[in-house]
Structures are given as C-alpha cells and as structure tokens.
Amino acid sequence: MVSQIPQKTQVVVIGGGVIGCSVAYHLCRRGWSDVVMLERSQLTCGTTWHAAGLIGTTRASQTLATLAGYCLDFIPMIEKETGQSVGFNQVGSMWIAEDEERFEEIRRLHDVTKIWGPETHLLNADEIEKHYPLIDKTGLVGGMIAPSEGWASPVDFTMAIAKGVRGRGGKIFEGVTVTDVLTDNGKVTGVETNQGRIETDFVVNCAGLWAREIGRMADVDIPLYPCEHYYMVTEKSEQVPNDLPVMRDQSNEAYYKEDAGSILLGAFEKKAIPVDPASLPENFSFEELAGEFDQFMPVYEAAVKRVPLLGELGMRKFFCGPESFTPDDQIQMGKAPGLEGFYMCAGANSVGIQTGPGYGKALADWIVDGRAPFDLSGMDVRRNEPYQNTTAFLSER
C-alpha cells in the first residue's frame, strides 16, 4: 500500500534508481529535508538492478575523474552512516592492450591519473598474468591496474543511499507515477501523479531512460535514448578465484568480472541496438530484453581466446537490458533552459552506478547554490540543439 503523498514539498525527485536516490540524499545532506522522491514501481526496478556494478574511477578528464572518483569516498561514508554494506569488492580494475595503439592510450591514462588519481600502475604481460591467472597472455603488449577500484552490488548500493535519504528526513514513495509536470509562467509549480498533486518549486527528473518523456511533459528537450546492453554469466567453478580484478579489454569491447564463483563477461558494443521506449511495457519493472546472441557473439568469441576457461564453463545467464545513452556520451544534467525549477540528471551512458554519487552531489550543489559547483558545461543540458532530440537522430546515433 502506498502511504499518503504530501500536498506540498520543497522538491520532488522523480525516479528511484541510483541517480534519483543520490540526488535526494545529497539534497538532504545540504540541509533540504523536505525532499520527496517518487518511484512509479520499486526502488532500482528500472536499469539500476541489473547493472554489473563496476566501480571504475579512472577517467581521461579531470571533470569526469572528479565525478567518478567521489564514489570511493562515498562508499565508506554511506556504509558508516547507514550501517548497510554496498557489497564493495575492492579487487582493482585492470586494462589490457593487444596492440601498441591501445597501450599508448593506456599509458596516457596512466599519466593523467598522476594528476587527478586514482593510483595506477603499468603492467607487462607477465604481471597481467599474475593478477589474472585465468588469462592467456599471448599477444598482450601491456596493461595497467588501478588497485582502489572494483565492483559493488548495485541494489545494495542504491538501498544504502535510500536508507541515507530516509535517515536524513527525506521521504520516498514507491508505486507513485508522475503523470504531468505543472508549470506556470516559466516556472515549475508541481507534479501530477496517479495518487494526486504535489505543489513544489523544484522538480528533479532522474527517470533514467524515461527522462525524455518526463521532459516532454514540461516541454523540455532531453536528448537520450535507450540501447540494448549485454552481459553473460558462466556457471560457478572452483577455478575462478574470488579476488580477480575487473578486467577491461577495450579493443575487443569486453569487460570481465568475478561474480560469486562465476565469470561475468560484459560487452561495450561499438554499434549498439536502439530500443524504442514505446516498445517497453508501461509497467516495466525488473524486466529484461530478449536480446540477440549474435550481437554478443564477437565479444564472446574474442573473450574465449583471452580467457579460455570461459569456453569450458556453461552459460548460466545471458542478459540484455536497456540503458540510456546520449548523443555525445555525456549525461544530461543541470537546469532546463527556460523553465525555472526544473532540473535533471539522466542518460548515464552505462556508468550510472560508479558515477551516481558524484552526479547526485554535483546536481544537489547546483540546485541549492543556483550554479554548477565546477565546470560541468560538457554535461549541461543547455549544450544540446533541438534537432538532437528527434527520435530519428537519437536512434541512428
């Protein structure tokens, strides 16, 4: 049963995924306790629940590194505050290169991390094998490891943040769908929901792949579009050590993660398949997409050569879920142009778990202080042109 939503509040956050929870939490931390978060189904039910949970903070730009790097400070903080574990396995992240060009890119990344972190170390093929005994090191040119990274449980992570919201006086309502954003004279005045109306001066749209639709309710363009995103999980094996680092092989569009005695092999496909949001059920909640193994096959075939055990173990799970992507691979955040009080943070391009704390903190500061806390112009929703929000452009992109 849904408890009674208030008639009035300072701010409404739409969406109970990792990003909505993080924005709500950081607003509460800034002293806004009259925070209401509305989730149409259950917390994490959209994209968050099925993420692989990689916590990577190594980035080629200082802005991205600041946003992602905050996660490593945030995890111990939220665990201490709420007493809830986020299931963080600090096993490190490793990058591998099969050619000089990729290794050059990794070396550059290593150089910039000396400026803004995290700590990284370059590796030769023998050192890679020491860290990842399951690997066939044939043809490896080199790699890099970031020992402070790893992976967490996306659901535990989000639930811990939600507990932090409640602990600081914020209110979370599940089973409440926002059906309209109310405006008057260029200002937000409230939201209409399936449980009634809430008056508010601030609406924060954190509705993930549905954020574009919420934007339309307020005549605000939010260019993002869901695409299929894949991973598979093998059956369990005693041959899979539980301290394997996350391994990224970008030339073969693959990442590997130890997953409770199994190997999770994920894909960063260069040519992802768009998903028409209208094709998703209206009550999409903890759901998967059918996906096509052919799309995943090139990643799998290359991975079996690199980690031969993968080919010996049966496949326990083949997973395909939707994730929202933006035309330039940067999130849409900040204040809507031309509409006072309407903010957003959506289109996480597959890094919403690891960057969720940083996005949430930055946006909360932006809302409370009325300006971005540092240069976020590359993510500011005002960077977009109207044509970028057409369905034809987005699905092609």
Ligand X SMILES: Cc1cc2nc3c(=O)[nH]c(=O)nc-3n(C[C@H](O)[C@H](O)[C@H](O)COP(=O)(O)OP(=O)(O)OC[C@H]3O[C@@H](n4cnc5c(N)ncnc54)[C@H](O)[C@@H]3O)c2cc1C
Which of 93, 326, 354, 384: binder of ligand X (CB under 6 A)?
354
From 383, 281, 365, select the one nearest 322 (Cα to Cα): 281
Question: How far apart, in Å, are the Cα atoms of 172 and each of 1, 53, 309, 356?
Answer: 13, 23, 44, 18
Which of 9, 12, 13, 17: binder of ligand X (CB under 6 A)?
17
Interface with ligand X includes 307 (CB under 6 A)?
A: no
161-200 positions binding ligand X, by CB under 6 A = 177-178
32-51 positions binding ligand X, by CB under 6 A = 38-41, 45-48, 50-51
Peptide bond before residue 118 is cis, with ω within 30 degrees of 0: yes
Interface with ligand X includes 220 (CB under 6 A)?
A: no
Nearer to ligand X, 59 or 142 (CB): 59
Which of 9, 12, 20, 94: binder of ligand X (CB under 6 A)?
20
Nearer to ligand X, 103 or 256 (CB): 256
- Count of residues that bind ligand X according to CB under 6 A: 39
Per DSSP, the residues of 128-155 read: HHHH-TT---TT--EEEEETT-EE--HH
Cβ atoms of 220 and 257 closer than 8 Å: no
Q: What is the C-alpha to C-alpha distance for residues 156 and 171, in angstroms, rounded to an integer? A: 19
Which of 249, 323, 365, 380: binder of ligand X (CB under 6 A)?
323
Per DSSP, the residues of 71-135 read: HHHHHHHHHHHH------B---EEEEESSHHHHHHHHHHHHHHHHH----EEE-HHHHHHH-TT-
Single out the segment in contact with ligand X by CB under 6 A; choices: 86-94, 97-105, 201-209, 360-368.
201-209
From 76, 75, 54, 58, select the one nearest 67 (Cα to Cα): 58
Single out the segment in contact with ligand X by CB under 6 A; choices: 74-82, 207-215, 233-241, 386-394.
207-215
Cβ atoms of 197 and 207 closer than 8 Å: no
Match 């914020």 to its residue by tokens.
Answer: 170
Residue 216: CB minimum distance to ligand X, A: 11
Interface with ligand X includes 12 (CB under 6 A)?
A: no
Interface with ligand X includes 367 (CB under 6 A)?
A: no
Residues at the interface with ligand X (CB under 6 A): 14-20, 38-41, 45-48, 50-54, 177-178, 206-210, 214, 229, 231, 321, 323, 346, 348, 350-354
